[in-house]
Amino acid sequence: MQRKPFTYLILITSFFIAIGFFIYYYQQMQVNDQKMQEAITAETPLPTYHFALIGEEMNHDYWRLVGEGAKKTESEYDVFVEYDAPKRSNPEEQLKLFDMAIKSKVDGIIVQALNDHFTPMINKAVREGIPVVTIDTDSPGSSRHAYVGTDNYQAGRLAGEALVTDTNGTATVGIISGSLDNPHHQLRLQGFKDVVENMEGIEIVAIEESNITRVEAEEKAYSMLTEHQDITAFYGTSSYNGLGIVAAAESLEKKDDMYVITFDTIDENIELLEEGDIDAIVEQHPFEMGNQSIRTMLDIVNDRQIQNVFHTDSSIVRKENLAGWKAKRMAAND
């Protein structure tokens, strides 16, 4: 009986201590929340410009470099670059991404104008006040503000000249284009033809498309080689065509005598060049394209003068100049 008041005293004291702790920790939490909020708003103000960059294919070495070049500008300028692309090349999906970027009212859109259907969409964006820069593939008939990328016709000519030199002007040629519909591949084909068609010893016997996949390039090269057993040289106009061509020539035991020229210095092409299975590569500069496209867009939104057509370099890489090329690439990080 005597212990009861003492127990009550302990219970009441514990109750007040618990309330005290609760109030203290609640206040501390409020202070921390406020500090965090202040820190977030002070440290990460949203960049002034939000640009959308829409490429052809997300999981592709070439487009990964375009994206990296573009994203690099975020550390130098007041800009956020939203880079997106279909998982696999798919113009309809690419157009949907384009439309979504217009609807979300970004400050600028950089897009690969893969075919004619992109022209009305570019014009729509510009009508709605969103500047557009085309990248890699141009749409000169649209109201785009600028194009940043390879001079594709000239790059095709370079390929033709390299083939003429390396084969001493004698070759029976099969061509694997990335696509027969896309303007940049058409220009690469036209440039090539304009050079080799003047040569008596050179004949183009077949032209097919790979839809920029290695598998289709291999299938098409294989059936070409079976139909035209006299083919001595191949020209591929996109990144993975060389890999497909070499694989097809290998299965038909024609690899050693085949001359192969293809586009893009992706790692696998460089390895095949080192091994002597690819003879020459037309180099483009995807990292620089991505980077320059954002700089051009920043000039546009800031009303600064721009170069409407900004051609990034293209050149021929052969095994003989590979060491110099590697050293230059390491220095340039492209």
Interface of this chain with ligand BGC, residues 61 to 100, rule: CB under 6 A: 62
Burial classification of residue 112, based on how many CB atoms lie within 10 Å of its CB (0-12 exposed, 13-18 middle, 19 or more buried): buried
Q: How far apart are CA 144 and CA 154, in angstroms?
A: 22
Select from 238, 293, 296, 314 the one that contacts ligand BGC (CB under 6 A): 238
CB of 89 to ligand BGC, least distance (A): 7
Q: What is d(CA 172, CA 225) in angstroms, rounded to the nearest whole number?
A: 11
Q: Which of 108, 121, 141, 17 is nearest to 301 (CA)?
A: 108
Q: Does 212 bind ligand BGC (CB under 6 A)?
A: yes
288 part of the interface to ligand BGC, by CB under 6 A: no
Are 263 and 239 a contacting pair, CB within 8 Å? yes
Site size for ligand BGC, by CB under 6 A? 12
Q: Minimum distance between the CB of residue 303 and ligand BGC, rounded to whole angstroms?
A: 30
Does residue number 263 form part of the binding site for ligand BGC (CB under 6 A)?
yes
Q: Which of 69, 86, 91, 178 binds ligand BGC (CB under 6 A)?
A: 178
240 part of the interface to ligand BGC, by CB under 6 A: yes
Rounded Cα distance between 102 and 124, Å, is 8
What order of strands is seen across the sheet that includes strand 309-312? 79-84, 49-54, 108-111, 132-135, 146-150, 309-312
State both tokens at 56: 């052809």
CA 305 to chain centre: 26
Task: Rule CB under 6 A: say whether 245 interacts with ligand BGC.
Answer: no
Stretch of 16-24, 43-51, 232-240, 308-316 contacting ligand BGC, by CB under 6 A: 232-240
Please report which helix (H) or strand (E) contains residue 82, including its range: strand 79-84
Asked if 131 touches ligand BGC (CB under 6 A), the answer is: no
Helices and strands (H, E) in the chain, number of each type: 11, 12
**83, 55 Cβ separation under 8 angstroms:** yes
Minimum gap (Å) between residue 36 Cβ and ligand BGC = 43
89 vs 142, beta carbon nearer ligand BGC: 89
Residue nearest ligand BGC (C-beta atom): 239
Q: Does 235 participate in binding ligand BGC (rule CB under 6 A)?
A: no
How far apart are CB 290 and ligand BGC at their closest, in Å?
Answer: 12
Question: Is residue 134 close enough to count as binding ligand BGC by CB under 6 A?
Answer: no
Q: How far is the CB of 242 from ligand BGC (least distance, A)?
A: 10
DSSP string, 101-122: HHHTT-SEEEE---STTHHHHH
- Of the candidate residues 167, 239, 296, 314, the single one contacting ligand BGC (CB under 6 A): 239
Told to check if 171 binds ligand BGC by CB under 6 A, we report no
Query: Given the structure tokens 């035991």, which residue do they identify?
Result: 253
334 lies in the site for ligand BGC, by CB under 6 A: no
Q: Which residues bind ligand BGC (CB under 6 A)?
A: 56, 62, 136-137, 178, 184, 212, 238-240, 263-264
